[in-house]
Structure 1
Amino acid sequence: MARLYEVGQLMQEAAKRSDDAPAAPEPVRPVAVDDDTVRAALAQHLSRISGSRTEIVGFGRKSSGFSWITYAFVARTAAEGDRKLILRVGPPSGLFAPYSVLPQVYALQSLAGSGVPVPALVSSEQDGAEIGFPFFICAHVEGDVPAPWAASELDPDHKRAVARQFIEILASLHRIDPGSTPFASLQLGGERAELRAIAGWRASLARPTARYYPLLDWGGRWLRDNCPQPPRRAIVHGDYRIGNFIEHQGRIAAILDWELTHLGDPHEDLAWALMPTFNARSRKLYGVLERAEVIDLYQRASGIVVSDKSLAFYEAYALYQAAAIQMCAVRAFEVDRFNDMRLAVMASQMPSIVRAFERALEAAA
């Protein structure tokens, strides 16, 4: 297929790369979140909402991600005994701050008792008046989170069963009518979530760094101008992939990480799940389900006919989003001086992502 752009045109676009991009925010400086302070405030919050003095036992960070901070702990009261809970906090200097707790709260509220397993919501605050940051508390779910890069170590039959569950749960999510859930408030007018997200990633990529990729400028505009109409407005997870669920005794016990959930095109979740990055570099889901098998299973379970053109668009968008996320990390290290060498390493991954994005754009055109 002919290339999507001419080199001369690309260089002209490069010269004016930020002319039509949204204004970029000023550099930030990392703000430390003190675990002891959070623990003390958490005890006060749970004591207030339960009406009983609550002791926090075994409090500690469960992960060292780049966005929301996750803590695991036990809440101990005289009346209820011990409850294993999870606290998620949106720190003021996370990669994608400022944070809103509402998407995750909407998801846990909307999906309780549905065909989509989620942890039970306990409490939440957007203004973070007691803890200091946006937060929510949910029940702890027993099980393990699979590591995509370790997929080759698992039994193929086991992975196949889990992968099929994974797609069937996605179909269940997309079948839910958002109008009967708290997500209904997101449907009232305004710009489509997909276009709003593309504009946000373009603004992020317009911020100054030591690296510039002309294709990302051009590609962001192409995505904005060619975003397809969805077959229906569905609840989209936004980060639906291997590694974002808890598995217990061969069953998916909970789908995790709803911070990017929104109303949008169901093709977006399907494209994200199929990215080789999340499947140990394999073109197969979890290294076992062929693409055609995934699409067939999804169509039969969801009742949604998958459009090859829309899926190709969202596969390109997935790589564009991945590139923008990587560049957020690179900028945090190079400009904002975050002291985390994992952020610096991400710079080395950019060329391969950009090349993959170029191929995906050509396939989508």
Structure 2
Amino acid sequence: MQEAAKRSDDVPGAGPEPVRPVLVNDDAVRSALAQHLSRISGQRTEITSFGRKSSGFSWITYAFVARSSAEGDRKLILRVGPPNGLFAPYSVLPQVTALQSLAGTGVPVPALVSSAQDGAEIGFPFFICTHVDGDVPAPWAASELDPDHKRAIARQFVEILASLHRIDASTTPFASLQQGGERAELRAIAGWRASLARPTARYYPLLDWGGRWLYDNCPPPPRRTIVHGDYRIGNFIEDSGRITSILDWELTHLGDPHEDLAWAMMPTFNARSRKLYGVLERAEVIDLYQRASGIPVSDRSLAFYEAYALYQAAAIQMCAVRAFEVDRFNDMRLAVMASQMSSIVRAFERALEAAA
């Protein structure tokens, strides 16, 4: 499924050849996908209407129809973790755990069909889930929608987050993500700090200092809940005025619910508005969340996680630039992410002052 990286022989006086990008061959993926679905279903399965979806910056997403004599046509989604992607190397465990744990709860998710971490048949880590009808709202197009419509969706969005945080993770497969020792928030901060310290990353002194401050001042959570990790406008499907699925669970973990709330309210994800989806004031979001979740929101913790959100956003920008410039991941959207760094770093400085 992939074209291996190739280096020149050690020839005196000659520099190494550029590392060739690892390519995901769509035709090979389609053929292997048919074999995989035929094997797990025990019947010949044909793949039709197979094609990449442009949404998303990390996993490669394919929409397709699986056709068999027993089940007819099924609209499915395949997500593949490329070896040179934004968050490589990829693990399917968080997403698979989320889809398994949340089926039948108040948090709408697609149904899991199959997955494999070693990707032996497809060639890369992958999972397959059902297709959910609807559209993914883009934050930059929010002004084109009716304000009453946006308000209804925004309230659903907050209420679903509250439902997620009310779930007892110990009774679900999420319990397997609970590891002893260091808290998930601290592991994440340490991971982003290490990413920003890589030799190929641009150096920002404020991020260096701010990462240490975040690690040393992380507040205790009011309770440990399931945290989505990327809960924002653009990561759900809406159909006929109703949120029908929450997407992109690759950063999910057990941690502080303030993390999701702070991330969701970032202006970056709300068409640069301080209001959620451009319609819900901050105080209204917090009040609605507290009443729906039963979890009191701490001003101090929320300020901390608003600073952390900007730090994480900066680290993700640098991961994107590395994926494009060093690992040759062929997505032009990643190439322009560095242009956002100056505004993110300035906002991070203000957020640190508010949190300190």
Q: TM bucket by the smaller chain?
A: over 0.9
Q: Tell me which residue corresponds to 2:6.
A: 16
Note if contact 2:264-2:276 (Cα within 8 Å) is conserved in structure 1.
yes
Cα distance in 1, alignment partners of residues 329 and 10 from structure 2:
29
User: Residue deviations 1:261-303, cap 9 Å, x none?
Assistant: 0001000000000000000000000000000000000000000
C-alpha separation in 2, matches of 1:24 and 1:88: 37
Output the CA distance in 2 between the equivalents of 1:37 and 1:20. Answer: 32
CA distance in 2, matches of 1:364, 1:20: 53
Structure 2 residue 118 is matched with structure 1 residue 127: yes
**Shift in Å, 1:330:** 2.0
Using CA pairs under 8 Å that are at least 6 residues apart, name the structure with larger relative contact order, 1 or 2: 1
* Alpha-carbon separation, structure 1, partners of 2:316 and 2:11: 17
Q: Unaligned 5+ residue runs, structure 1?
A: 1-10
| CA distance 1:338–1:42, change in 2 (3 Å) | closer
Pair 263,25 (structure 1): closer, same or farther in 2 beyond 3 Å: farther
After alignment, is 140-149 or 338-347 more displaced? Answer: 338-347
Question: 2:188 — aligned with what?
Answer: 197
**TM-score, scaled relative to structure 1:** 0.91
Q: Which range moves more in the overlay, 266-275 or 57-66? A: 57-66
1:171 partner SS: helix
Question: Which residue is equivalent to 2:24?
Answer: 33
- TM-superposed CA distance for 1:212, in Å, is 1.6
Deviation per CA, 1:189-212: give whole Å up to 9, x if none.
131111111111011100123732
Q: Please give the secondary structure, in 1, of the residue aligned with 2:2.
A: helix
Q: Measure how far apart 1:85 and its partner are.
A: 0.3
Q: Percent of pairs identical after alignment? A: 90
User: In the TM superposition, what is the alpha-carbon distance from 1:329 to its structure 2 partner?
Assistant: 1.7
**Aligned residues: CA RMSD:** 6.9
Equivalent pair of 1:25/1:207 in contact (CA under 8 Å):
no
Determine if the alignment matches structure 1 residue 176 to structure 2 residue 143: no
The 1:13/1:99 distance shift into structure 2, 3 A limit, reads closer
Provide the rounded CA distance (Å) in 1 between the counterparts of 2:39 and 2:172.
Answer: 28
Distance in 2 between the 1:18 and 1:197 partners?
A: 37
What CA distance in whole angstroms lies between the structure 1 residues aligned with 2:21 and 2:126? 19
Query: Shift of residue 343 of structure 1?
Result: 2.6
Summarize deviations over 1:215-238 as a string: whole Å, max 9, x none.
000000000000010011100000
**Higher alpha-carbon deviation: 65-74 or 26-35:** 26-35
Separation of aligned partners in 1, 2:43 and 2:2: 65
Check 1:262–1:12 CA distance in 2 against 1; reply closer, same or farther (3 A cut): closer
**1:341 Cα deviation (Å)?**
3.6
Q: 1:115 aligns with which of 93, 101, 106?
A: 106
Q: Name the SS of the counterpart of 1:14 in structure 2.
A: coil
Q: 1:146, 1:242 within 8 Å by CA — same for their partners in 2?
A: yes
Equivalence map 1:212-291=2 (5 Å): 212-291=203-282
Note the residue ranges of structure 2 that are not aligned, 5 or more in a row.
Answer: none
Secondary structure at the counterpart of residue 138 of structure 1: strand
Shift of the alpha carbon at 1:137?
0.6
| 1:116-141 deviation line (CA, Å, top 9, x unaligned) | 00001111111111111111111000
Distance in structure 2 (CA, Å) of the matches to 1:103 and 1:51? 27
Shift of 1:363: 0.3
Shift in alpha-carbon separation, 1:351–1:299, aligned structure 2, 3 A: same
1:24 & 1:239 partners in 2: Cα distance?
A: 41
How far is the alpha carbon of 1:249 from its aligned partner? 0.5
Which deviates more from structure 2 when the two are superposed, residues 339-348 or residues 149-158? Answer: 339-348
1:41-80 → structure 2 map (5 Å cutoff)? 41-63=32-54, 65-80=56-71
Could you report, residue by residue, the CA deviation over 1:163-203 in whole angstroms, capped at 9, with x for unpaired residues? 00000000000000000000111224131111111111011
**Change beyond 3 A, Cα 1:19–1:161:** farther
Question: How far 1:95 moved relative to its partner?
Answer: 1.6
1:14 touches 1:214 (CA, 8 Å); kept in 2?
Answer: no
Q: Contact between 1:274 and 1:285, CA under 8 Å: does it hold in 2?
A: yes
Deviates more, 1:180-189 or 1:305-314: 180-189
CA distance in 1, matches of 2:19, 2:4: 26
- Asked whether the equivalents of residues 29 and 93 of structure 1 are also in contact (C-alpha less than 8 Å), the reply is no
Say if 1:160 and 1:289, in contact at 8 Å, map to a contact too. yes
Name the CA distance, whole Å, in 2 between partners of 1:125 and 1:210.
31
- Number of matched pairs: 355
Q: Is the 8 A contact 1:17 1:217 kept in 2?
A: no
What CA distance in whole angstroms lies between the structure 2 residues aligned with 1:282 and 1:162? 16
Contact 1:267–1:311 (8 Å) recurs in 2:
yes
The more displaced of 339-348 and 219-228 is 339-348
- How has the CA–CA distance of structure 1 residues 305 and 17 changed in structure 2, closer, same or farther, with 3 Å as cutoff? farther
Distance change >3 Å, CA 356–CA 268, structure 1 → 2: same
SS in 1 for 2:4: helix
